[in-house]
Amino acid sequence: MRIVVAAVGRAKEPAFRALLDEYYARIRRHATLDERELRQAGEDRLAADVASLVRSAGPHAVLVVLDVGGRTMSSDAFARQIQRWRESACSPLFLIGGADGIPDAVVKGAHLRLSLGAMTLPHRLARVVLAEQIYRAFTILSGEPYPR
């Protein structure tokens, strides 16, 4: 399974970068993971960059945008979704917007709008939470003791 985490902006603060790198290393024991940092650009440029990422992810790409108004899932439900994607040979591409959010055209074209909760999170923190939940999903699926 190939997973892409794309985010607008850079995770340059050492503490956040270290957490991301730790979770990404853990995820890579279960799946191929690519991180893409997108430039903070106008809506048209961001939409074009996302379209290019989706094309490069292949014909089974699934665009998942993080959106406070999206669907919330428990960790177990998220793990089941990851399992369905894995069984269908899908490649989820998770998109985290920047300060200006995600263009409406991109949101409308997403396969899934996913919310990490009703509270607004700083974008760099949302990246860490998403990485942890992806890792948690794989540990749930493989029966590892981590999710307790």
Tell whether the model's pLDDT for residue 80 goes beyond 80.
yes
Rg of the chain over Cα atoms, rounded to whole angstroms, equals: 14
Domain 2-142 CATH assignment equals 3.40.1280.10: yes
**Tell me: the pLDDT tens digits for 105-127?**
899 999 999 999 998 888 889 99
**pLDDT, position 120:** 86
Query: Token pair for residue 131?
Result: 């990485």
- Give one DSSP letter per residue of 4-32, joined into a string: EEEEES---SHHHHHHHHHHHHHHTTTSE
Tell me which DSSP letter residue 98 carries: B
For Cα atoms 104, 105, 110, give the angle at the middle one, nearest 5 degrees: 95
**pLDDT, position 40:** 76
127: left (phi over 0), alpha (psi -120 to 50) or beta: alpha
**pLDDT, position 34:** 96
Tell whether the model's pLDDT for residue 98 goes beyond 90.
no
The ranges assigned to domains in the chain are 2-142
Has this prediction a pTM greater than 0.85? yes
For Cα atoms 24, 65, 125, give the angle at the middle one, nearest 5 degrees: 50
Confidence class for position 39, pLDDT limits 50, 70, 90: confident
Tell whether the model's pLDDT for residue 41 goes beyond 80.
no
